Chain A
Amino acid sequence: GESVGLHLPTLSVQEGDNSIINCAYSNSASDYFIWYKQESGKGPQFIIDIRSNMDKRQGQRVTVLLNKTVKHLSLQIAATQPGDSAVYFCAENSGGSNYKLTFGKGTLLTVNP
């Protein structure tokens, strides 16, 4: 079946560096993507989203890039801080009427001071 996956299960960076978290998706019908952040002991929190008619979207210190040609999604975090340490999930909406989101398995980001 079609699924959302991640290239790297763990990522360790130094405080102040930029982080890049990658995600591959296989459903070419997906038209909407979201990145979530999950801190230890908490529920996932929305970070940023992007529609399939866009290549790039920027938020505060975060940028999401979408490459539909290779079905690849990435989350860039600028000047990574210790508070960014968390598991990051990408999710895709395949466009069905049930608005179902399919989640990737997550990448653990660790920021070293």
Chain B
Amino acid sequence: EAQVTQNPRYLITVTGKKLTVTCSQNMNHEYMSWYRQDPGLGLRQIYYSMNVEVTDKGDVPEGYKVSRKEKRNFPLILESPSPNQTSLYFCASSLVYSGANVLTFGAGSRLTVL
């Protein structure tokens, strides 16, 4: 089944404890992206990647890192999480062509930072 898989789905952690949220897609998509979803703010892009070894900042990149060493994986790293990073995170991927970018989303990872 074609899908985007995120792990963990739920995580409670403490301030300053490094964590990684993994994302993997099996559709051979070039484009991958991370979003956070907060009440009243909608989906905001954190980082995106157009292809392997190509990453760039989205609208809210502060406090996050990403890497794209392989086409299928795009982990999100929080080096020193803070409570304002408590949120619902979505990874997404797509084939981009002629301006179209139909993202396929993962099921989401709910992160709580105490």
User: Given A31-B99, A43-B106, A46-B103 in contact, is the A98-B50 Cβ separation under 8 Å?
Assistant: yes
| Shortest CB distance B69–A (Å) | 20
* A contact residues around B58 at 8 Å (CB): 100
User: Given A42-B107, A43-B90, A98-B48 in contact, is the A49-B100 Cβ separation under 8 Å?
Assistant: yes
Cβ-defined contact, B104 with A42, below 8 A: no
* Interface residue count on the A side (C-beta < 8 Å): 22
Cβ-defined contact, B108 with A42, below 8 A: yes
Which residues of B (70-114) have their CB < 8 Å from a CB of A?
A: 90, 92, 94, 96, 99-108
User: Does A18 lie at the interface of the complex (its beta carbon under 8 Å from any beta carbon of B)?
Assistant: no
Cβ-defined contact, B40 with A101, below 8 A: no
Cβ-defined contact, A43 with B108, below 8 A: yes
A96 to chain B: closest residue by CB: B99
User: Does B12 lie at the interface of the complex (its beta carbon under 8 Å from any beta carbon of A)?
Assistant: no
* A contact residues around B40 at 8 Å (CB): 105
User: Does B31 lie at the interface of the complex (its beta carbon under 8 Å from any beta carbon of A)?
Assistant: yes
* B contact residues around A95 at 8 Å (CB): 99
User: Does B43 lie at the interface of the complex (its beta carbon under 8 Å from any beta carbon of A)?
Assistant: yes
* A contact residues around B99 at 8 Å (CB): 31-32, 51, 93, 95, 99
Top 10 A-B pairs ranked by shortest CB distance? A43-B105, A105-B42, A99-B101, A103-B43, A99-B96, A44-B105, A103-B42, A32-B99, A43-B107, A43-B108
Chain B interface residues toward A at CB < 8 A? 4, 31, 35, 40-45, 48, 50, 56, 58, 90, 92, 94, 96, 99-108
